[in-house]
Amino acid sequence: MNALGITGGVIQAVVITGGAPLLTGVMRQVRAKLEGRKGPGVGQPWRDLRKQFRKEAVAPEGTSEIFRVAPLALVATTVVTAVVVPFVTSASAVEPMADLFAVVALLAMGTATLALAAIDTGTAFGGMGASREVTILALVEPTLLVSIFALSVPAGSTNLAAIVAATLNDPGRVLSPASMLAAIALTVVTVAETGRIPVDNPATHLELTMVHEAMILEYAGPDLALIELASSMRLCVFLGLLASLFAPWGIAASPTPLALAIGTAAFAAKVVAGGAVLAAAEVFMAKIRLFRVPELLAGSFLLAVAAVASSYFLAGAS
């Protein structure tokens, strides 16, 4: 634990919590522009959140504490991830927590809690959404672990801060086949885990296709706002993870104000650019059938396995 890591952690928590709805706004705006619409503006998600937070909290009859705790748990796990993963600085606020397995487990815990809350409502949609989400989660987690593992083999540590620092010292590593294959696998994982097209459509409320929306159908008011906020933050965290692992340029290596400012600006720019590319790509894609999702995720798992294998075997050459 050092000064650099702690300042970085505080900045990351503030930037991600405040900026995540703006990222969602930018992505919707990009999509709207490409579809020839005017779009509601970048600030719309924040306006929606403000409206929701002012409402009275209501919960369906017969729901237990899990339903009320789940939004808080989801936000809490995401905030912890946002603090510990090295986004703005190359050091982590809580070094042991920045471990690959801890971060993946934290992210999975948030999703699992939400799935439990969805089952808790006892409605058909909640159960259906939870079942689908857990299916996708079970397929995503191995890929996520294995693809980051491919990057940790050359760095010699599963600590994300150590992986980022190793890539900063040796920028050529980004172009290795292991890193390239892992990048493709992680992009698919990001799309699947954050419920974007082609795995899930965040804009739909059609019963047959909903995944994430089906789980949160019973939420209203402040609880819904918390979940919406946490969803955008997760998207931000995943895009940030991609940026830190495969394009760690501009990350602050010293706790001077200038370096931190550059690090924050670089992080924001990379995440917004990633989000804009994702949104632009979505315009040209259709949601795939739910039964074909395992195929997509098996493909990304294969790429992740190939990444680990090549990072292990080609390591002997250089």
Partner 1 sequence: MTNTAYVELLNLACGALLATAVLILWRRQFAAIIRWFGVQGLALASLAAILAVHGHDARLGAIAAGVFALRAVALPWLLRRALARAEAAAVQPQRETRPLVNVTASLLAAAVLTLLAYAVSQPLTALTPASPAAHAIPLGMAVVLIGFFSLVTRRRALAQVTSFLLMDNGITAVGLLTVASTSLLVELGVSLDVLLAVLVLQVLTGRLRETFGSTDLDELRELRD
Distance of alpha carbon 218 from alpha carbon 58, whole angstroms = 10
Examine residue 316 and tell whether it contacts partner 1 (CB under 8 A): yes
74 or 146, CB closer to partner 1?
A: 146
Examine residue 318 and tell whether it contacts partner 1 (CB under 8 A): yes
175 or 258, CB closer to partner 1?
A: 175
Figure out which of the listed residues 69, 119, 180, 281 binds partner 1, where binding follows CB under 8 A.
180
Examine residue 310 and tell whether it contacts partner 1 (CB under 8 A): yes
Figure out which of the listed residues 175, 208, 258, 286 binds partner 1, where binding follows CB under 8 A.
175
Figure out which of the listed residues 36, 62, 172, 257 binds partner 1, where binding follows CB under 8 A.
172
62 or 318, CB closer to partner 1?
A: 318
The contact mask relative to partner 1 for 263-302 (x = CB under 8 A, - = no) is -------------------------------xx--xx-xx
Number of residues that bind partner 1 (CB under 8 A): 24
Residue 253: Cβ within 10 Å count:
13
Residues 6+ away with beta carbon under 8 Å from 79: 13, 16, 17, 233
Residue 167: Cβ within 10 Å count:
24
Q: Which stretch binds partner 1 (CB under 8 A): 82-90, 102-110, 120-128, 175-183?
A: 175-183
174 or 277, CB closer to partner 1?
A: 174
Distance of alpha carbon 127 from alpha carbon 122, whole angstroms = 7
Q: Residue 31's closest CA among 278, 296, 305?
A: 278
Phi first, then psi, for residue 122 (nearest 5°) are: 75, 5
Q: By the criterion CB under 8 A, which residues form the site for partner 1?
A: 172, 175-178, 180-181, 184, 294-295, 298-299, 301-303, 305-306, 309-310, 313-314, 316-318
